[in-house]
A and B are shown apart, each in its own frame.
Chain A
Amino acid sequence: MSLILRHCQKCNFTDTPHRHLCPECGQEMEIFEADGRGRVLSFTIVHTPPEGFPVPLYLALVEVKSGFRILCRASHKSCLKIGRSVLVYDSERTYVCEPYTLYFRLKKWIKNQLKRHKKIQSVAIFF
């Protein structure tokens, strides 16, 4: 899981990789792999999303550590609180965020471990 962005060193302007030139100074922006950890600035639950999207659709505007803001789909309803810690990553032409709490990370780690060890998969029900 990664978050590829472009950054202008002169202006400190960051955006998605689609934007090649810095809108502030016009110089070529450099690709970098950003830290996807950030906090939710705002969110909404969309009950009438465009065609092809799940109902309800969870959207969050996240500010990641480099100061860049990004609009992404939230994988869990628990992301939807202003100030919540989340992890943003690229996913099929869009961005997704998931909770970045100790509980959630531990749960995910245990699930992955269980997937590897099929014999004790039945224990997964507790998680």
Chain B
Amino acid sequence: MRPVYCGPGIISPFGKFEEKHLQDLLITTVNEILESIDPGKIDSVVVGSMSPDSFFGEGNLGARVADWLGLWGRSVFHIDNASAAGAAAFQIGAQMVAGGCFDNVLVIGCEKMTHLSTRRATSVLASVIDESERAAGASMVSLAALVTERYMYEYKMPYEALMKVAIKNHHHGYSNPIAHLKKMISMQDILNSRVIAEPLRLYDCSPISDGVAAVILTAHQTDVVVKGWGSGSDYVALRNRRSLTSFRATLLAAERAYSMAGLTPREIDYAEIHDAFTSFEIIGLEDLGFCEKGEGWKWVMEDRTEITGSLPVNITGGLKSRGHPVGASGVAQIVEILNQMRGRAGENQLERCERALAHSIGGLASSNFVTILEKVR
């Protein structure tokens, strides 16, 4: 396999752009990186997006996006892996470059959701979960609540740990220019917010957002190499899972990514963890091997995931504050890491970011992705 390098990456502002069409968001964002590369050299366009047909009634997104960007003629693909669509598109792109099929692949993650009512958007998002669980009235947030309640019971986690995750991510999202929720929050704000599905409150859930993120993958050497990637899947229904408090899909994805990269969790300087719900950041810490099972919330309480801690996590705001346009999030995590490695993270800049990991969850952890990037010395 050839080494795969990251070229330029970009993220559009994330937020509510009810009036805008996905086409406008996409063209203004992606054109910026197309200026830095000869578009003639792009061999393929891979688009990650969860449900463009359900969200705004347009399918066939691969060809459509290439058409909008003036890239007709290229090999085009539309990847849907629920909320990990962006991460899946990135890994497919990396595999195509590694396998020698293409030299330059444009990977795009995008989603346009906010023009729908929250109820409608939630029901589209719930289409990724098991049919019989949906019939009982479950949605993504209620399944996440069941997982969280069980985690709190098994590992005696206090609610304060979840609040600390939300406060940290909002704190850093505040200084991220593209973040959706630019708002510092306090414990009191969280306690005053409404309960969505006990024990999860409004501030435990990532927002419904619009946004686009894009990156170019290339066989030509740049400053960042894609060191390893891996993905794994699990039963779609929560009832069939062996464990409620650990996601097997993440364990498999992480094992494969670490083994490909030849790295251990200890060698990672920074992690972007899929915090669609605050408890997922804690479970992610454990499943990715950074700490023992049941220790994740203690790491959070000890500030080890803060910008000054031993393993900073989501100090760009995470999905929680940056926003969660489902298909875009996986690519956005990669671009945030590239910004860190290239010294472009502004106030959230880390002192050291040689190796970083991005973790993305599809559905309720039914298809998860782990990608490891490394700075080229």
* Chain A contacts to B: CB under 8 angstroms: 15-16, 18, 23, 41-51, 53, 57, 59, 61, 68-73, 82, 93-95
Q: Which residues of B contact A69 (CB under 8 A)?
A: 238-240
Q: Which residues of A contact B123 (CB under 8 A)?
A: 50-51
User: Are A18 and B132 neighbours in the complex by a CB distance under 8 Å?
Assistant: yes
Q: Which residues of A contact B53 (CB under 8 A)?
A: none
Q: Within residues 126 to 153 of chain B, which ones have a CB less than 8 A from any CB in chain A?
A: 126, 131-139, 141-142, 145-147, 149-150, 153
User: Are A71 and B119 neighbours in the complex by a CB distance under 8 Å?
Assistant: no
Expressed in whole angstroms, the minimum distance between the Cβ of B253 and any Cβ of chain A is 19
A42-B239 CB under 8 A given contacts A47-B195, A59-B137, A59-B138: no
User: Are A42 and B244 neighbours in the complex by a CB distance under 8 Å?
Assistant: yes
A59-B142 CB under 8 A given contacts A49-B137, A50-B123, A73-B137: yes
A46-B136 CB under 8 A given contacts A41-B244, A70-B239, A71-B239: no
User: Are B238 and A23 neighbours in the complex by a CB distance under 8 Å?
Assistant: no
Does more than half of chain A's interface fall in helix, strand or loop, or is it mixed? strand
Sample of 5 more A-B contacts, CB < 8 Å, known A44-B145, A47-B198, A94-B137: A44-B197, A44-B198, A71-B133, A71-B138, A82-B149
A122–B123 Cα gap in the complex (Å)?
Answer: 45
Q: Which residues of A contact B119 (CB under 8 A)?
A: 48, 50-51
Chain A's closest residue to B196 (CB) is A48
User: Are A46 and B145 neighbours in the complex by a CB distance under 8 Å?
Assistant: yes
User: Are B132 and A47 neighbours in the complex by a CB distance under 8 Å?
Assistant: no
Q: Which residues of B contact A45 (CB under 8 A)?
A: 195, 197-198
A-B residue pairs, 8 tightest by C-beta: A44-B145, A42-B150, A53-B137, A69-B239, A46-B197, A42-B146, A45-B198, A94-B135
